[in-house]
Amino acid sequence: MKHKVELRDHAAELRKFRLRLAVSTGFIVLFFMLLYARFYYLQVSQQEHYHTLAEANRISILPLVPNRGLIYDRNGQILAQNYSAYALEITPSKVVDIESTLDELASIIEITPNDRQRFKKLMKESKRFKSLPLRNRLSDVEIATFATNRYRFPGVEIKARIFRQYPQREIVSHVIGYISRINDQDLEQLEVSNELNNYRGSQYIGKIGIEQSYEKQLHGITGFEEVETDAAGRSIRVLSHTPPISGNNLILSLDLGLQEAAEKAFGDRRGALVALDPNNGEVLAFVSKPGYDNNLFIGGIDQENWNMLNNSIDRPLNNRALRGVYPPGSTFKPFMALAALELGKRTPEYSISDPGYFSLPGVNRRYRDWKPGGHGRVNLHKSLVVSCDTYYYGLANDLGIDNIHSFIGQFGLGKKTGIDIEGEVSGLLPSSAWKLKQFKQKWYAGDTISVAIGQGYNLTTPLQLAFATMIIANNGKAYLPRLVKQIQNSQTGLIEEVPPKLLNRLNLKPHNLEIVKNALIDVTRPGGTAAKAAINATYTFAGKTGTSQVIGIKQGERYNEKSINERHRDHAMFIAYAPAENPKIALAVLIENTGTGGSTAAPVARQVFDYYLLGQLPDETIAQLTESVDNSEHDHL
Amino acid sequence: MIEIKKIWYYFVRYIDGFLLIGILALTFVGLIVLYSATGGNISKVSHQVINISIALIIMWLVANIPLQQIKRLALPMYMVGLSLLIGVALFGEINNGARRWLDLGVTRIQPSELMKVAIPLMMAWYFDKHEITLRLRDYAGATVLLMLPVFLILKQPDLGTAILIAASGFYVLFLAGLSWRIIVGLITAALGSFPIVWSVMHDYQRQRIMTLLDPSQDPLGAGYHTIQSSIAIGSGGVIGKGWQNGTQTQLDFLPEQSTDFIFAVFSEEFGLIGNTLLLLLYLIVIGRCLIITANASTQFTRLIAGSITLTFFTYIFVNMGMVSGILPVVGVPLPLISYGGTSMVTMLLGFSILMSIQTHPKLIKT
């Protein structure tokens, strides 16, 4: 019985299936006929119409590329500009033998192996019917030479193009960044943000720095020309013309003169300097040494230069001011001191007797002061002036890591400041929660001790340090650091100010601030760790030296600069602002592998201050400083 | 001699010669058009030859497996595919504003491709299991099986793939005997749910549909594709402009001319005559597939063969429809002709299943 039912079902099922399959077949034929009807309509009924469109009078829409906005410093010095020049371009699809064409061209116009390499790389990345540059900036003689030989080179043309140029090269390369040819990734980005239309015809896009972050302002709006062309692509007449709108000009808060003075003060040393205006957060100088020639990247960098920049041990492509993370060292102490006063863990009068080391109760390990034998009696004021480590070891233990984290976090250490260029890193201001998450370990009292003097897990960028220094200088106002001060509309010529942005106002007691600030002034006076940098200064300035360890020193060993590999030597740091009573500039300096902050970093700060406040060039400052060398004092931390 | 003959026999015994010739003819046409579409780029053409070779090897391997073995893979494949799709939704790489790829550390995969094979297998397996007692709730279960991955793919968003996978699943439902009343109901529901679909769609997808209604609205943006491909096809006329002579193609007016829009290149250069021959070639391949389907012996093999065949047809229709301007641009390649390795492998995998059904001894159900 069951067997029978199943058989009947089986047969019925097959019948049903075959019926359905027949219906499907009918649909397939029907839909193919529909397609065929569409083809017939396009290719027979409307053939003439489309033939006209395609062959006889093709209307093509030609994009008109806007001029890119210019970039100036705060005094109107040009940092990025455009120039028009003639370029030798090749359309690969129109050339039979690229190699021999290149060889023949090289016999009449200078073409370096680098030009060739770059061109071949471009050719691989581009469509064959795109016109690609082989040489830029042809001289008049070269143009004339090519013109007389032109008949020999089908597919090779001279074209007038607009080029970008960065006249200041290394000096501001880490701020300005560069533009370069649009690649597939850029195209994807543009498609996502729905801007592809505006880049029809554009060859370049900002890749890094201001050029990248302000791409929208700088690029402008592409115009269009509707042109009738014949089958060969020659235009017959223009039907309509929508002019492009140039990109807006940017006026940076950067002071080129100050930037140059800072560069000069660094000399050949590696490091970074960020100077801010404490009244509004404007970035006055933004140095990362070494820099690189950003002009190299515009047309696509050649392999040789790329290898040189990318493999260099000095890492010139690394933006140290924005992306370099360093332990803040003793520059961390003013913030610790403020925490102690604000949280009521120390009074200004309280003092310790410094034996030259600190030990946690019941633990053998000794945390050494930088000065063997210690500083004697030390109160809060003196702890900053002579940079006493022992004082802070004990203080940190009393404060506890999480108080340190939440109080000093207000000054922006271990967080991105939000500056208006991309790529900033956050660094690290440790907390017990962080350690638990990162290492699945609890926080030990010993971890806090090294945090006290800005070592341990602490990592900050020079930009963050400058930001934090600004907040002390202006009594608690956290202004967003920004590089662009004004935007000039390309159409109206009107200049629009970018208003300062107050991110946060820290609630600090004026009395406590004053105690710390007075100590910072004494740092630059005789007896202070940065005294030598302030000799003969006509204004007062306040600061704090620091030394940032690159490698750990074992218990019982001493740091000996001469016996250590140069790249493992300590980084010198200095944070400062001036004039102390009414700060106009706040900064952070870091110089890699040069030892102590007082001897190398503080003089750089002095030169920058002298230029900014007095208009005095670095050479004169150095002369003043060396007039009265006092060798009796040791270098201090 | 006898030895060689024997080896040859073992080599080809599970290959359907008729289908193979059709496939080879179509891929050959594809290479010819690709050469023209890339402006004579030999390296791209040779790369496609490698893609085809790999796909053919996979096809040969799978065709040698009897379908009872493949059937066992239906459930695991579906489960793996579904988990991977969930993985994509949670951890997928964002590319082009869409989340389609999953990075497994060793390699990146696009799980929606796996689903193109897994869905027909799974649904055919499901109906095969419930063969005797087909009730409404069985259809409802199958619909859920289908809609889960379709929804996940739609969210990626990948409208083209979602449509094709939904279609392949629907074909199984249809061939399994879903009642006409429900089909009509479903179509009504689909039309009714359009506003909901519209609201989950991304801007660019809406744009594509709006542009279909009036391409001239946005001649530089989304309408550009359709306008330029219509001009290419139309200006090709009856006999075409000749190989490598299409002005639309060679002057780069056509977008994506080696992938989704390759049919416009073919049409411009070979005209209506070329189109006729191409449609016939496709019809012959489809016809052979329909014959294999009709002769399949079990419900499972019938359903899977039917779904693969109809999906193949759907690819052709959607692609040609969008290129010639009667369907929105949804990003579906022209099977066996468009440049690209993934779709080639997926297509030939489908054909290998058909070959396996046709060439392995048929089990008669008792």
- B238: which chain A residues are within 8 Å (Cβ-Cβ)? 43-44, 47
The pairing of beta strand A271-276 with beta strand A585-591:
antiparallel
- B230: which chain A residues are within 8 Å (Cβ-Cβ)? 42, 50
Q: Are A534 and A541 in contact (CB under 8 A)?
A: yes
Quote the pLDDT of residue A634. 44
Instruction: Give the closest-approach CA distance of A138 to chain B in angstroms.
Output: 28
Residues in chain A: 637
Q: Which amino acid is at B243?
A: W
Establish, for the pair of chains A and B, how many residue pairs have beta carbons separated by less than 8 Å: 131
* pLDDT tens digits along A1-15: 344 444 446 777 788
Give the whole-number percent of chain B exceeding pLDDT 90.
Answer: 37
Average pLDDT over residues B252-258: 73
Q: Between B41, B175, B238, which is nearest A43 by CB?
A: B238
Interface of B with A in 78-97 (CB under 8 A): 95-97
Q: What is the mean pLDDT of chain A?
A: 87
**Where residue B366 falls among pLDDT bands split at 50, 70, 90?**
very low
The pairing of beta strand A571-578 with beta strand A58-64:
unpaired
- Check CB contact under 8 Å for B238 and A47: yes
- The token pair at B52 is 């085809």
Look at the pTM and tell me if it is higher than 0.95: no
Give the whole-number percent of chain A exceeding pLDDT 70.
Answer: 91
B242 touches chain A (CB under 8 A): no
DSSP A374: -
Least confident range of A44-58, A385-399, A493-507, B153-167: A44-58
* pLDDT tens digits along A102-159: 888 888 888 888 888 888 877 776 666 677 888 888 888 888 898 888 888 888 888 8
- Check CB contact under 8 Å for B234 and A32: no
Quote the pLDDT of residue A7. 47
Q: With 90 as the cut, is the pLDDT of residue A635 above it?
A: no
- Check CB contact under 8 Å for B279 and A224: no
| Helix-, strand-, coil-residue percentages of chain B, each rounded to 5 | 70, 5, 25
Average pLDDT over residues A323-344: 94
Closest to B126 in 3D by CA, of B289, B296, B304: B304
Quote the pLDDT of residue B306. 95
* Beta bridge pairs of residue A287: A273
Q: With 80 as the cut, is the pLDDT of residue A308 above it?
A: yes
- Check CB contact under 8 Å for B310 and A127: no
Average pLDDT over residues A61-72: 88
* Among chain A residues, CA nearest to B256: A127
A97 touches chain B (CB under 8 A): no
Which residue, among A25, A29, A43, would best test binding to B if mutated, counting the most B CBs under 10 Å from its CB?
Answer: A43
DSSP A46: S
Which residue, among B251, B303, B319, would best test binding to A if mutated, counting the most A CBs under 10 Å from its CB?
Answer: B251
Average pLDDT over residues A32-54: 90
- Which has more pLDDT, A598 or B123? B123
- Which has more pLDDT, A430 or A94? A430
Q: Are A596 and A570 in contact (CB under 8 A)?
A: yes
Q: With 80 as the cut, is the pLDDT of residue B133 above it?
A: no
**Where residue A633 falls among pLDDT bands split at 50, 70, 90?**
very low
Q: With 80 as the cut, is the pLDDT of residue A561 above it?
A: no
**Where residue B238 falls among pLDDT bands split at 50, 70, 90?**
very high
Average pLDDT over residues B109-126: 86
Quote the pLDDT of residue A58. 61
Distance between first and last Cα of chain A: 101
* Among chain A residues, CA nearest to B235: A51
B325 touches chain A (CB under 8 A): yes
Closest to B280 in 3D by CA, of B1, B29, B7, B13: B29
* Beta bridge pairs of residue A64: A223
Quote the pLDDT of residue A2. 41
- Check CB contact under 8 Å for B234 and A17: no
Tell me, rounded to whole angstroms, the distance of Cα A30 from its chain centroid. Answer: 61
Q: Between B38, B39, B294, which is nearest A21 by CB?
A: B294
Measured distance CA(A592)–CA(A598) in Å, rounded: 14
Closest to A188 in 3D by CA, of B93, B95, B255: B95
Total H helices, total E strands in chain B = 15, 3
B234 touches chain A (CB under 8 A): yes
B224 touches chain A (CB under 8 A): no
Measured distance CA(A401)–CA(A406) in Å, rounded: 9
Distance set, CA A172 to CA A82, A247, A285, A290, A559 (Å): 17, 21, 9, 11, 36
Q: Between A20, A42, A61, which is nearest B177 by CB?
A: A20
- B219: which chain A residues are within 8 Å (Cβ-Cβ)? 61
Measured distance CA(A606)–CA(A533) in Å, rounded: 6
Average pLDDT over residues B41-57: 90
- A200: which chain B residues are within 8 Å (Cβ-Cβ)? 220
Which residue, among B226, B235, B244, would best test binding to A if mutated, counting the most A CBs under 10 Å from its CB?
Answer: B235
Quote the pLDDT of residue A562. 65
Quote the pLDDT of residue B3. 85
- By three-state DSSP, how is residue B2 classified? helix
How many CB atoms sit inside 10 A of residue A637's CB?
24
Quote the pLDDT of residue A38. 94
For residue A401, what is the enclosing H or E element? helix A401-409
Nearest 5°: phi and psi at A18?
A: -65, -35
Average pLDDT over residues A21-38: 95
Measured distance CA(B134)–CA(B175) in Å, rounded: 13
Average pLDDT over residues B301-307: 93
Q: With 60 as the cut, is the pLDDT of residue A198 above it?
A: yes
B328 touches chain A (CB under 8 A): no
- Check CB contact under 8 Å for B39 and A129: yes
Torsion (CA) B292, B295, B297, B301 in degrees, nearest 10: 30
Quote the pLDDT of residue B338. 93
**Where residue A555 falls among pLDDT bands split at 50, 70, 90?**
low
Q: Between B41, B231, B251, which is nearest A50 by CB?
A: B231
* pLDDT tens digits along A241-278: 888 999 999 999 999 999 999 999 999 999 999 999 99
Q: Are B156 and B98 in contact (CB under 8 A)?
A: yes
| ipTM of the complex, rounded to two decimals | 0.91
Q: With 60 as the cut, is the pLDDT of residue B77 above it?
A: yes
Total H helices, total E strands in chain A = 22, 23
Average pLDDT over residues A347-363: 88
Quote the pLDDT of residue B365. 47
Given the structure tokens 């209307």, which residue do they identify? Answer: A59
- By three-state DSSP, how is residue A198 classified? helix
- Check CB contact under 8 Å for B276 and A36: yes
Torsion (CA) B125, B126, B132, B135 in degrees, nearest 10: -150
Q: Where are the beta strands (DSSP E) in A278-372?
A: 283-289, 351-354, 357-358, 367-368
Quote the pLDDT of residue A630. 47
Closest to A587 in 3D by CA, of A597, A595, A596: A597
| Helix-, strand-, coil-residue percentages of chain A, each rounded to 5 | 45, 20, 35
Average pLDDT over residues B33-47: 86
Q: With 50 as the cut, is the pLDDT of residue B74 above it?
A: yes
Q: Which residues of A are catalytic?
A: 330
Instruction: Give the closest-approach CA distance of A474 to chain B in angstroms.
Output: 43
Closest to A164 in 3D by CA, of A71, A73, A248, A88: A71
